[in-house]
Each structure stands twice: as C-alpha cells, then as structure tokens.
A and B are shown apart, each in its own frame.
Chain A
Amino acid sequence: MIKTEYIIRSNEPIADGVYRMRLEGDTGAIKAPGQFIDISVPELFLRRPISVSDWDASGLTIIYKVVGAGTDKLSAMRPGAALPALSGLGNGFDMDKCARHTAVIGGGVGVPPMYGLAKRLLERGHEVTAMLGFNGTGDMMLVQEFEALGCRTLVSTADGSFGVRGFVTALLPMADFGSFCACGPEPMLRALEGAVGDKPGQISLEERMGCGFGACMGCTKQTKNGPKRVCKDGPVFDREVLIW
C-alpha cells in the first residue's frame, strides 16, 4: 500500500451511469490485476474503494458506476484535478493459479477488473475466454476492448438485446476452459458457483468497506478458513474457501 496523489487525465461516461477515469501517477504498489485503490473524495469522510481496470508505469484506469454520494462527486470531477488515494490495496488475482485456458467472467461493474486480468494472462501466453454479462446494451461496456486484446469474447444480456439472452452462466458451456476468475454482483457469483462444476477458480468479492486496508473489520466475510477481511485478505478468494 502506498499513499499517493493521482491527477485526473480524463473522466467520461462509457455506459449508463458508468464512467471511465484515467489517472496519472505512481502505480508502483499495484502488483496484480484485481487490486483496488481507495480514493479520498472531497467533502466525504470515508475513502471510496474502486477496482483498477488496467495500469501501466505512468498511470491507471478505473471504471465505476454512479451508485451514491461518492461516485456521484467523482463523476463530476474534471481533468487536471488531483485525487488523493491509497494505492495497491487488496491481494488481486494470482495468475500462477490460472490454467492454460482460463475464463475471465465478469458481470456489470465486475467487468472492469477482468480487463486488466485478461490482458496480463494473454501476455503470459494463456488462452483466455472472456464471458461478460450485462442487463442490456445500456450498461454494456468494454466488449470491443476485450475483443481488441485478442481473446474470445462472449456476451450475455438479461434482456436479450445483445449476445446470448440470459445470465453470464449461460455462456459457460460455450468454452472448454481449465480454470476461471470471476467478479460481479453476489447473485451472479452464487449462480456461477452452482453452474461451473468442479473447475478451480478465483472469485473477487464486493463488500461495503470502512478503511480499505484491514484496520476496521467492517467488510468481514465468514469463510471455510475463518473470518476474512474482503479488503485486505481479499477481495480475491479461492472458490473452495467461500461459503454461499
């Protein structure tokens, strides 16, 4: 974890209520896809944890949905503004555990961190199938970006307006993968857990956080290995340890 200050380079809507923000600054503490930053938003007491979608030596990209006071203020911030943040939080996905052919499975705002993961898995020589689930074309995002990475990209929408009608689990039979990584809303993850068979997988959880770095015990989940903090021990957990 480092404490740093990013400069906003761009902040634009890419889907209904969803913004992409590019930040310039120190990314040295980000070691794995699936980690997050904890942003200090003007006038609000608690920081806001947002997952890193992609990063390089000079900066990073976050993609967030406006769901409350913090993300609302964030969406109104302009390029050039400074954004104080804690960076490199959480464990991220362990790519050494990924099979030669790995499915990266994202639902809604769980899709962005899977982009950085897919990119790095491809760089390491893995075969990657992206399975992306949305409500409809309105909240659909990053599909072309995943395709541009060169991975097979499958899309489901609940309303059938694009790709396969149904939930992201409907895409599972369409690829013969050896392991998976997933991020998305809890009902999706639960459905996935029931539908994916016995393949090894890593699952990134979401929980309302206080501090974001393990101090307050605000985001604890019970697991088969005892209580774990989503912010510090996670957000990524091996599927075997999770209790549904």
Chain B
Amino acid sequence: MVDTSVSLAGVRLDNPVIPASGTFGFGYEFAEIYDINCLGSISIKGTTREPRFGNPTPRIAECASGLLNSVGLQNPGIDRVIAEELPKLRKCFKKPIIANISGFSLDEYVECCERMDKEEQVEILEVNISCPNVHGGGMSFGTCPESAAEVTRAVKAVTKKPVFIKLTPNVTDICAVARACEDAGADGISMINTLLGMRLDLRRRKPLLANVTGGLSGPAVFPVALRMVYQVYEAVSIPIIGMGGVSSAENVLEMMLAGASAVQIGAMNLVEPYACRDIAKQLPAVMEKYGITDLKSITGGAHNG
C-alpha cells in the first residue's frame, strides 16, 4: 500500500490532486458526474467582492496542446459565493476547500479574505495576484515584489488560515516575487497562473479573443511551470502548490519532485471532465511503478543535496 496523503501548511490532504480555480466552478456540478470526494481538495472559482460578468466573448481560443482564455474573473461576488455556492459544495464535498480570492484593490483582497476566514470548510486561502485578463488589479499586484508583499501582509493580518499567494509567470524573476511573499508572511505559493498570449483570426485579420490577449494554459505550458516550481523551491522554504499543464499522474510526480507539495489541474478539466478523478485514481499505481511509497517524501526530490 502506498500513502498518497500530503500536507499543505499543516492542512492534510488525502491526495495531492486539486482542480485549479476557474476550471471546476464551485465543484458541485462535477459531483453530478462523479464522487468528488476522491479529490484532495478543490480550489473554487476566483471570487471578488462584487459580482463580475467578466470580459466580452469570444473568451476562448485554441492552440497546439492548450488554450487561451480571457474569461476575466466572472463570478457571482462574495455575498452569493458564501450564501449560495459554498453551501451547495458542502453538500457533496467533505474535504478541505481552497478559497481563491481576487481583487482590484488592497481593501478588496482584505475584505474577501476576512469573510472567507469565517467559513469553516475553507482551510486555505489562495490569493490570486496574477490574473492576466483584468485591468487595474489581478496581475498588476503580482508583477512586482513590493506590491505582492503588500497584499500578503494585508491579508495575513485578517486571517488565521494558511495563505497561499498565486503567482504569475509573466515576470522577469518569479523567485524575487515568491521570496517577497514569504518574507511578508505567506504560508505558501501557488504557481503558475496562465502565460499571457494571443491568437489572430486570419479571415478577419483581428485577434480571436475579444479582449485581444488571454492566458495560455494546458500541456503546452507544463515544462515552463515545472521549471518555475523547481526554481522557486530553491528560493523559498514555504510549500508550493504546483500547476500548469498537468495532465497525468506522471506529471503530478514530476511537479512534486521539482518542489510542489500538492498539484492543481486546470485546463485538462475542460477537455476531460473526469481528468482529476482519473489522475487521483492512477496515482497509487504510478507511484508503485516508480518505487514511491510515501508521496509527501518526494517533494523537492529532484534537487541536489
């Protein structure tokens, strides 16, 4: 028997498989097709203080081994997330929940985290300072170490729950941003958000996405994500949730060997609704194949020393 359990800043998960925010809604619709309690946790749809419609459509474009999205943080706002969405998820999911929070101002991050702090089943706050699809917030906080630290400090002051800061890869030095978050009190790092990209429509000679640019995700970005997780693991000592193009149990092991303590799966949920269930199911056999008995022991195993 192998042990698939992992720990994230003191929160025990039965396995490291977590659907990534924005690719799994609030979970309960997936519960209609399988028992989602086979997952380690769920990172819920990014939540802001006000309801957001998001960007105009088209919001989706395809590329080789991946897709671009410019959804733009569509969500019903924190009042309805707490009053309606979380109770629906609670009915079908008995594991720890990761609340993903986005904002357009420091106040907004603080207020949303303060309110999520009171939700019992939410055991980790994942603060998204890396959405590439909104203006005046999101990624602008995550592209410089100082503002990343400022958000971290502000939200840490209002919650006792572990705070993971979700970082953007669209920076010169992601290690500097990660270190700034750690120094400001972050309990962990989630990485990576999507890579900024675009596609053109040859018939119209115009961008395919109404928002012009979008975030690239899917298997195409896996090597980039893996490299960044590997680098940030050496730069900080807080745990990392690794994500970016993970599409198999083997990819999960790679992410963990590079330095992740748990793994999120995003784009694959959109083409294969059973992806997370199947990866969680395959994990024990793949661990055995590679001689792993205790999954949490392999985190960072690819590094020297």
Contact = CB atoms under 8 A, between A and B. Distances in A.
Contacts of B74: 217, 220, 227
Given A210-B270, A211-B269, A219 B57 contact: yes
Given A210-B60, A216-B22, A220-B53, A1 B33 contact: yes
Contacts of A86: 273
A220 B270 contact: no
Interface string A206-224: 0111110111111111100
Contacts of B29: 213-215, 232
A3 B154 CA distance: 45
A47 interface: yes
Given A3-B274, A45-B67, A208 B60 contact: yes
Contacts of B274: 3
B168 to A, nearest CB: 19
B207 to A, nearest CB: 13
Given A45-B62, A86-B273, A210-B69, 13 more contacts: A40-B271, A44-B62, A45-B63, A45-B267, A46-B60, A47-B271, A207-B58, A208-B59, A211-B273, A213-B273, A218-B57, A218-B69, A232-B29
Interface string B37-80: 00000000100000001100111101111110101001000000
Nearest to A221: B57
A22 to B, nearest CB: 25
A142 B14 CA distance: 54
Interface in A30-62: 40, 44-47
Contacts of B137: none
Interface residues of B, number: 32
Interface string A224-240: 00010000100000000
A167 to B, nearest CB: 23
Contacts of A209: 60
Interface residues of A, number: 26
Given A86-B273, A208-B58, A215-B23, A46 B67 contact: yes
6 contacts: A40-B271, A45-B67, A45-B267, A215-B25, A217-B54, A221-B57
Nearest to B64: A45
A213 B33 CA distance: 11
B62 A216 contact: no
B24 interface: yes
B89 to A, nearest CB: 14
A94 B278 CA distance: 34
A3 B277 CA distance: 14
A1 B273 contact: yes
A46 B23 contact: no
Interface of A: 1, 3, 40, 44-47, 69, 86, 207-211, 213-222, 227, 232
Nearest to A84: B272
A227 to B, nearest CB: 5
A227 B23 contact: no
A178 B161 CA distance: 58
Given A44-B62, A220-B57, A222-B53, A215 B24 contact: yes
A227 B219 CA distance: 30
Contacts of B54: 217, 220, 227
A1 B273 CA distance: 10
Contacts of A217: 22, 45, 54, 59, 71, 74
Contact of A216 (B58, B64, B71): B71
B71 A211 contact: no
Contacts of B267: 45
B270 A211 contact: yes
B218 interface: yes
Given A45-B67, A210-B69, A215 B270 contact: yes
Task: Tell which of A209, A213, A221 has the most Cβ of chain B within 10 Å.
Answer: A213
Contact of B23 (A3, A44, A216): A216
Nearest to A46: B62
A215 B273 contact: yes
Contacts of B33: 1
B77 to A, nearest CB: 11
A47 to B, nearest CB: 6
A14 B29 CA distance: 38
A3 B25 CA distance: 19
A216 B60 contact: yes
B25 to A, nearest CB: 6
Task: Tell which of A40, A45, A207, A220 has the most Cβ of chain B within 10 Å.
Answer: A45
A147 to B, nearest CB: 35
A208 B273 contact: no
